[in-house]
Structures are given as structure tokens and as C-alpha cells.
Chain A
Amino acid sequence: MQEIHWFKIMLDSFWPFLSAGLCFTVPLSLLSFVLGLGLGFLAALARLFGGPIASAIARFYVWIVRGTPLLVQLFLIFFGLPSIGIVLDAFPAALIGFSVNMGAYLSEILRAAISSIPKGQWEAAQSIGMNWSQTMRRTILPQAMRVATPPLGNSFISLVKDTSLAAAITVPELFQSAQRIAAVTYEPLILYTEAALIYLAFSSVLSALQNRLELRLERNLVTAEAPK
């Protein structure tokens, strides 16, 4: 009998969970990652090429963000900023929090990936007359992305799971809907297991995409089966 009861609870909660996931968890993760990538790229460029002032600003940003808990950052933005007149809705507050947080971590990944490209690649590009941005776009970044893809995939998957923290600042995402339904059904074991499985499904899709992207970026390195 118990099993049928559990099955019914799972079935009833599945659509609310999935729609919370698709309406909040997925867009929050995607947007934060894209914005974080942009911020991280700027910070990485500032560190690598920006001169002392820009580099110091980027270093400071990474230091602050990496050195403080993400949950505290979210609380600061959503509950703290209204005290100085900045009132944000839950979703934009979470988006800002996650993007800024991601940016700091991604900047280190991108910085390492860009620095890993040998100096000879810069020189070869410059010797054929490319300017800085052409060199970056055509020669350095395509190679750096191959190096950066595995750690970027790591960060993205972490981010997807970390968006559950947005529940704490009232974003009605996947984990929050699990909390809500658990509070009325008194079935935390089954509901949190179900929520965990949906996170696992999202992460698995990302892992698979990462693998495909890696294969694509490494197509020039396959020597064993190369046709000619």
C-alpha cells in the first residue's frame, strides 16, 4: 500500500517540479552562465592584458566573490540592498548574484586557458599581419576553448545545482517547490529524492552536451584514426 501512496505522490508532484525546473532552474542557470562567461572573460582579459589598474580591479572582484559564501551574497542582494533603496524582484536578484559569482570563477578558468596557449601562436598570428583582436578571435580563443571546456562544464553543472539556493530568496524554482509540497504532504524522503533525480537529469544532459562539444573541439587532435 505504501508503495502505491509514494508512487501517487511522485506522479502528482512530477509536473509541478518539472515546470518549476523548466521555468526557473533552467533559465536561471543558462542566463547566469552566459552573463558569468561575459563577466569572467572581461575579468580574465583585465588580468592578462589590462595594465595595473584594471588588473587590480579584476583581482579584487575575484577575491571578494570567491572568498564569501554564495548564499550570503544572495541574501545581501535580495534582503540587504533594499536598505539603500535598491529593491529587486527575486529572479533578477538571483540572476545578478549567480552571474557575478560565476564570473569570478570562470575568469580564473579563462585566464588559465588563454595563458596556456604557447607564445608561438601569438607570434605566428602577428607575423601574418593579424591585429590583437583578430589574433584573439581566430587563433587564441578557439584553442583556449578546448582547454577551458572541461572546467567550464564543471562550473556549469555546479551552477545548475547551486541555483537551489535561490529558494532561500523566494525564487519558486525546483527545490522550493519540493520544500513546499513536502511541507503539506509530510513526505520529505520521496519528494527530495525526486527533486534530486530531476537535478541529476538536468546535469546529465549538460554532461552529454559537454562531451559532444569536446569531441568537436578536439577533431584536429585525433591522430590515430586520421584518414591522411
Chain B
Amino acid sequence: MIKLSGIRKSFGNLEVLKGIDLTIREGTVTVLIGPSGGGKSTLLRCINLLELPQAGSCSVGDMSVSFAPNKHPRSDEILRLRRKTGMIFQAFNLFPHRTALRNITESLTVVLGWDESKAKKRGMELLDKVGLADKADAYPSTLSGGQQQRVAIARALAYSPEVLLCDEPTSALDPELAAEVSATLKAIAAEKVTMAIATHDFRFAASIAEKVVFLEQGVIVESGEPRELFLNPRNERTAAFVASSGISFANMLKI
């Protein structure tokens, strides 16, 4: 389970997160939607401490870290928390100098100290899971965007994190490649991997989420099941934002 409480984060004078409380139950998918600059990415990045919040606390599984303006969490705490989380980036951020397989096994051999053959076996299993077993020895520059993102998904899953954080996983891709990545993420969600996803893709959000959170100007405006949030938003800002997509959720969510 992921539990965030009272998370505040400012960059200089700009307060990006204004006290966020959010619980993500184990084995469920939570999708963050909202306008750009609303704090979705920053919130995800606060969970694995790529950004350090100035207040609040974050717990992942059995581990909890609390934040204060002048208190820097110990580096071993930060590393332990990061090993419980995996992250997918909008720009993939694969290691360009390593093959697809090596990208995935890097955390196992370097961070966890697995031996080469065990790591390779795990890496091949994951490549197979994302449908890229034949690309094991390919370098990222020879893969399509969708393939790169699928390798990135496998890389983030390698050390079996308790939660997968996806920061706009399909935003840099054309619709066809985005669909390929969405399908991969759905297959992983079906295996009860806990996920938090920031996205602008409402169709994807509606099809994968157990819970949707609408985040605007650093506060959670509304949250709930996709059906209620997309079909009967209680807040007028949520309603306006959902309506702006022009998607007919009524048809889509009936299925």
C-alpha cells in the first residue's frame, strides 16, 4: 500500500503540491489526471524521492519517510524507498549505451548484486512479458519509441517493486505506439501490480484505472472510480476538464 499524507512541495516561491493526501491500495491502479502544471508528475516524483517534499510523509509498504523543510532524509532511506518503486518516464530514459537486456538487468547486477546468469534469466522473462524477447541484444537507438517504452517498463519491473510509477508513459508516442504501450501496461495491471499513472490519455485512464484522481493547482479536486468521476463529476472543474476531452464516456464505460 502507498500512503501519502500532507505532501507539500514548492519550487522557489511556486507551491506545486499543497498538502496531498492519497492512498493507493495494493494491487490497484490509480490514475492522476489534470491540466499540465497541476502537479501530477511532481506527485509521482515525490513517491520515489526524485523530488523531496518539504512537508508530509510517504509510506510504501512497510517503509515510511517523513519530510520537513530543513530535514534531508538519510541517503540509505532514500535508496531503500527507491528500491520499492519503479518508474516509467515520458521520455523513456533508457541507457543508450546498453542493450535492451542490459538495461533491464542493470538494477539486478549493480544494485542487488545478483550474478550475471540469474539476472539474465530474469531479464529475458521480462523481455518476453513485454513482447520483445527478440530484441535482447538491440541498443535503444535501434528500437521504436513504443519498444523503448516497453523495455523501460521491463527495466522498472526487474527488481519487483511494490509500486510502478508511470509519468505520462504514452505522451511521447504516436497513437499506434501509444496503444502498444497501453496494452503492455494493462497486461501488467491484470497481474495485480500496484500502479500510479499520470496521463492525459482519458481513454487509457478509463480503461485501466480503479481510481481516478483529478489534480489541479496542487490540490486533489476530486477522486473516485472512473465511472463516477468521468460520468458524474461532482466538482464543476472536474466536469469542465473531463468535457474538454470530447470523449463520450457513457458509451465507453458501459462495457
Give A residues with C-beta under 8 Å from B.
118, 120-121, 123-131, 134, 138-139, 142-143, 146, 217, 219-221, 223, 226, 228
Q: What is the CB-to-nearest-CB distance from A23 to chain B, in angstroms, rounded to a whole number?
A: 38
- From B63-71, B89-97, B215-223, the one touching the partner chain is B89-97
Instruction: Provide the B120-138 mask, 1 if CB < 8 A to any CB of A, else 0.
Output: 0000000000000011011
Residues of B within 8 A of A142 (CB): 97
Q: Does B82 lie within 8 Å of A221, measured CB to CB?
A: no
Q: What is the CB-to-nearest-CB distance from B227 to chain A, in angstroms, rounded to a whole number?
A: 32
Cα A42 to Cα B119 in complex, Å, equals 33
Q: Which of B95, B112, B141 contacts A121 (CB 8 A)?
A: B95
Residues of B within 8 A of A220 (CB): 96-99, 139-141
Cα A200 to Cα B168 in complex, Å, equals 54
Residues of A within 8 A of B85 (CB): 127
Check A223/B141 contact, CB under 8 A, given A127-B156, A131-B79: yes
Residues of A within 8 A of B89 (CB): 120, 123-124, 127
Q: Does A143 lie within 8 Å of B75, measured CB to CB?
A: no
Among B77-112, those with CB < 8 Å from A are: 79, 82-83, 85-87, 89, 91, 93-99, 106-107, 110-112
Q: Does B95 lie within 8 Å of A139, measured CB to CB?
A: yes
Check A221/B96 contact, CB under 8 A, given A128-B111, A134-B111: yes
Q: B155 at the A/B interface (Cβ < 8 Å)?
A: yes
* Chain A, interface SS category: helix
Q: Does A124 lie within 8 Å of B95, measured CB to CB?
A: yes
Q: Which of B75, B139, B155 contacts A128 (CB 8 A)?
A: B155
Residues of B within 8 A of A120 (CB): 89, 91, 93
Check A128/B86 contact, CB under 8 A, given A120-B93, A123-B50, A123-B93: yes
Chain B's closest residue to A127 (CB) is B87
Q: B16 at the A/B interface (Cβ < 8 Å)?
A: no
Cα A124 to Cα B111 in complex, Å, equals 13
12 contacts between A and B (CB under 8 A): A118-B93, A123-B93, A126-B50, A127-B48, A129-B107, A131-B75, A131-B79, A139-B95, A146-B97, A220-B98, A220-B99, A221-B139
Q: Which of B79, B93, B99, B142 contacts A129 (CB 8 A)?
A: B79
Chain B contact residue count (CB 8 A cutoff): 35
Residues of B within 8 A of A128 (CB): 82, 86, 106-107, 111, 155-156, 158-159
Q: Does B87 lie within 8 Å of A228, measured CB to CB?
A: no
Residues of B within 8 A of A123 (CB): 50, 87, 89, 93
Cα A179 to Cα B160 in complex, Å, equals 69
Q: Does A129 lie within 8 Å of B82, measured CB to CB?
A: yes
Residues of A within 8 A of B86 (CB): 127-128
Chain A's closest residue to B49 (CB) is A126
Check A129/B134 contact, CB under 8 A, given A123-B93, A124-B89: no
Cα A138 to Cα B139 in complex, Å, equals 16
Q: Does A143 lie within 8 Å of B48, measured CB to CB?
A: no
Among B167-213, those with CB < 8 Å from A are: none
Cα A123 to Cα B49 in complex, Å, equals 10
Chain A's closest residue to B108 (CB) is A128
Cα A156 to Cα B159 in complex, Å, equals 42
Q: Does B142 lie within 8 Å of A127, measured CB to CB?
A: no
Cα A131 to Cα B75 in complex, Å, equals 8
Residues of A within 8 A of B99 (CB): 220
Residues of B within 8 A of A228 (CB): 134-135, 137-138, 142
Cα A139 to Cα B50 in complex, Å, equals 17
Residues of A within 8 A of B142 (CB): 223, 226, 228
Q: What is the CB-to-nearest-CB distance from A80 to chain B, in angstroms, rounded to a whole number?
A: 45
Pick the most buried of B110, B112, B140: most chain A CB atoms within 10 A of its CB. Answer: B110
Residues of B within 8 A of A130 (CB): 107, 110-111
Cα A120 to Cα B93 in complex, Å, equals 6
Q: What is the CB-to-nearest-CB distance from B143 to chain A, in angstroms, rounded to a whole number?
A: 9
Instruction: Provide the B219-240 mask, 1 if CB < 8 A to any CB of A, else 0.
Output: 0000000000000000000000
Q: Does B82 lie within 8 Å of A126, measured CB to CB?
A: yes
**Extra A-B contacts (7), CB below 8 Å, given A127-B48, A127-B156, A220-B141:** A118-B93, A120-B89, A124-B95, A128-B156, A131-B79, A143-B96, A228-B142
